[in-house]
Amino acid sequence: MTATRAEIVRVLPPELAAGSRIDDGGIRGSSLHGSWELRFVAAAPLRIGLLELEVTELVIRLEGYSAQDRLRFLARLEQYTRRGGG
């Protein structure tokens, strides 16, 4: 994602933003479907001409979720973190 860790955390769905912070700044929590963990990994910046954008990789770990519940989790996360251009 072309965003900082702080920008990603700011736009997370409320149920994820309320999770417990972990050692590396990631977030961990649980739901009725299982447990989840989000880890943030800094990546090389994206350069487009003179423009430089910070990039953060988001590593998502889901345990105990059915295939359908994993898809719902990812769809909701994508809905909140989607960015549009114009």
User: For residue range 26-50, what is the model confidence (pLDDT) as tens digits?
Assistant: 899 998 899 999 998 889 999 999 9
Region of 61 on the Ramachandran plot (φ > 0 left; ψ -120 to 50 alpha; else beta)? beta
Question: What's the confidence (pLDDT) of residue 1?
Answer: 76
Domain 5-81, CATH: 3.30.1370
pLDDT class of 14 with cuts at 50, 70, 90 = confident
Instruction: Please tell me the least confidently modeled range out of 14-18, 21-25, 34-38, 48-52.
Output: 21-25
| pTM of this structure | 0.79
Residue 18 tokens, joined? 């309320």
- φ, ψ (nearest 5 deg) of residue 85: -110, 175
